[in-house]
Amino acid sequence: MRNITDVEDKIIARATERGVSIRDLTEGTAKIYQEDALALGNLPPTLEPRVTDTMPEIVAMIAKLVANNHAYVAEGHVLFDVASDADYGKLSRRALDEMISGARVEVAPYKKSPMDFVLWKPSHATMIGWDSPWGRGRPGWHIECSAMGEKHLGETFDIHAGGIDLIFPHHENEIAQSEGAHHGRPIANYWMHNGFLQVEGEKMSKSLGNFITIRELLAEKVFGGQQWHGKVMRLAMLGTHYRQPTDWTVERLLQTRATLMDWARLLHGTPATDDPHDEFLAALSDDLNTPAALAVLHGLFATARSNAADRARLKRTLNFLGVYNDEKDADFIVGQTIDAAAVEALIAKRIAARKAKDFKEADRLRAELTTMGVAIEDGPSGTTWKVMS
C-alpha cells in the first residue's frame, strides 16, 4: 500500500488559485510518480489510498483521540496532547523536554504544550474544507497516514517504510495517533527507513542546481550526457543497503550498466528456473541486505558460463530482483543507435585486410569501430561485435 497525501496546505492553495479541484490538480503528479516508479521496476501497489477518499475515517479517528483524552479542542483546532503519551519520542529516541529545550518550537497560545501538533484545523469559508464535529476544516499533516493505515490494513500492520527524514516528526506522530486511538496497540511491527541520496558528493537541491528527477534520467541526457535505463538505476540503487546514504554518480551508473550488460550477454535467450537462488533469498531475508545478495549473484555468474543450471538460476534470480527480463546487452544503452549494417561492412573489410596480412589496415578499421562505440572480438568461430559499455 502506498499513501497519497493529496490534502495539504500548498495543494489547497494552488487548487484555489487555479480554480480546479484537488483531484484534477494532483492527478497529474500522481501519474508521474506512478510511471516513474514503474520505470524503475517497482510493482504497482495493491492499494493507493488518498486523503480525499479517507475524510470520514480521519474525522472518526480524531474523535476517538478526543474521547481517549489524547487530544483536545482549542480555538477551532484539535490538537494532539503529547503529555498524554508517555511513550512519545520512542521512535526518534528523543525526550520531550529535550525537544522543547531545543527552543525552535513555535509556541501557539492555544497549545497546552509547544510540542502538541495539529490534528484538525479550521478552514475559511472560501477555503477548501470538510465538515467535522469541530467545524469546517482540514486535517493536519500526520493524521491522514494513521487513518489510511487503519482503514486498509487494520490497527497493526507488519512493516512501515519511509525516508529517514520522516522519522521525526511524521512517523513519531503517526505512532502517537494510531496507538492513542488503539489503546496502545502498535501501528507497525517493523520500521524501515531508507538513507538519503546525494548527487556526486553533494546533497541534491534546487539551489545547487543538481536537482534531477527519475523522469529526466530516463528521457534526457542530463546526467553524464546520456539517458539511463530504469533497470540500470534499479541495480545501482540495490548496490547499497537501503539504510545507508547513497551517492548517486555517473561513475556508479556506468559501472552498473557494464555489469548488467555482461549478464545480458550471457543470459539473453537462455532458459530460466522456476525459483530464485536460495542463498540470495537468505541474504535478502536479513534486513533486505541487497549488497550481500548481489555478491551471491556475482558468485553465480562466475560459474554460470560453464554451467547451464547456474545460468538458469541466475536468470530467474535477476528477474526476481526486477533488473533483468531477457534484454539484450545493447538494450541497456538508451538513446544511442548503432547502424548494424555499417558495422558489419567494416568488419567484413577488416576480415579481408587480416587475410591479406594488412594488419595496419585491420587496426585502423578497429579504431573506426571503436569510435562508433563498437567493440570487436576475434573468436574461434569468427569475429563478433558488441556495443561498448
Partner RNA sequence: GGCCACGUGGCGGAGUGGUUACGCAGAGGUCUGCAAAACCUCGUACCCCGGUUCAAUUCCGGGCGUGGCCUCCA
In the complex, the residues that contact RNA under the rule CB under 7 A are: 8-9, 76-77, 92-94, 98-99, 101-106, 108, 117-118, 121-124, 127, 140-141, 164-165, 167-169, 195-196, 198, 202-203, 239-241, 243-247, 251-252, 255, 258-259, 262, 286-287, 289, 291-292, 294-295, 298-299, 302, 305, 354, 359, 362-363, 366, 375-379
Q: Within 55-138, where are the H helices?
A: 55-67, 96-101
Nearer to RNA, 30 or 166 (CB): 166
Of the candidates 183, 176, 182, the one whose C-alpha atom is nearest the C-alpha of residue 80 is 176
Contacts of 89 (CB under 8 A, 6+ apart): 95, 96, 99, 172
- The grid coordinates listed for 252 are 556508479
* Residue 183 beta carbon to RNA: minimum distance, rounded to whole angstroms: 26
CB of 189 to RNA, least distance (A): 20
* CA–CA distance, 389 with 163 (Å, rounded to integer): 33
Shortest distance (Å) from residue 136 CB to RNA: 10
Min CB(185)–RNA separation in Å: 25
Distance CA 188, CA 178 (A): 10
Q: 44 or 291: whose CB is closer to RNA?
A: 291
Q: Which is nearer to RNA, 25 or 82 (CB)?
A: 82
| Nearest CB to RNA, comparing residues 92 and 156 | 92
User: What is the distance between the alpha carbons of residues 63 and 114, in angstroms, rounded to a whole number?
Assistant: 22
Of 182, 3, 193, 184, nearest to 93 (Cα)? 193
d(CA 83, CA 97): 11
**Could you give the CA distance from residue 359 to residue 174 in angstroms, rounded to a whole number?**
72
Nearest approach in angstroms of CB 11 to RNA is 11
Residue with cell 495539504: 8
Q: Which is nearer to RNA, 38 or 302 (CB)?
A: 302
Q: Is residue 91 helix, strand or coil?
A: coil
For RNA, give the closer residue by CB, 299 or 373. 299
- Minimum distance between the CB of residue 167 and RNA, rounded to whole angstroms? 7
Which residues on neighbouring strands pair with residue 97, listed in sequence order?
none
Residues with Cβ within 8 Å of 29's Cβ and at least 6 positions away in sequence, in order, are none
Q: Minimal distance in Å, beta carbon 227 to RNA?
A: 21
Say if residues 22 and 11 touch (Cβ distance below 8 Å): yes
Q: Is the dihedral of CA 129, 131, 135, 141 positive or negative?
A: negative
CB of 296 to RNA, least distance (A): 8
Question: Which CB sits closer to RNA, 219 or 254?
Answer: 254
Give the Cα separation of 32 and 223 in Å (integer).
20
Q: Which is nearer to RNA, 247 or 368 (CB)?
A: 247
| Residue 17 CB neighbour total at 10 angstroms | 9
Between 226 and 255, name the residue whose CB sits nearer to RNA.
255
Closest approach of RNA to the CB of residue 44, in Å: 26
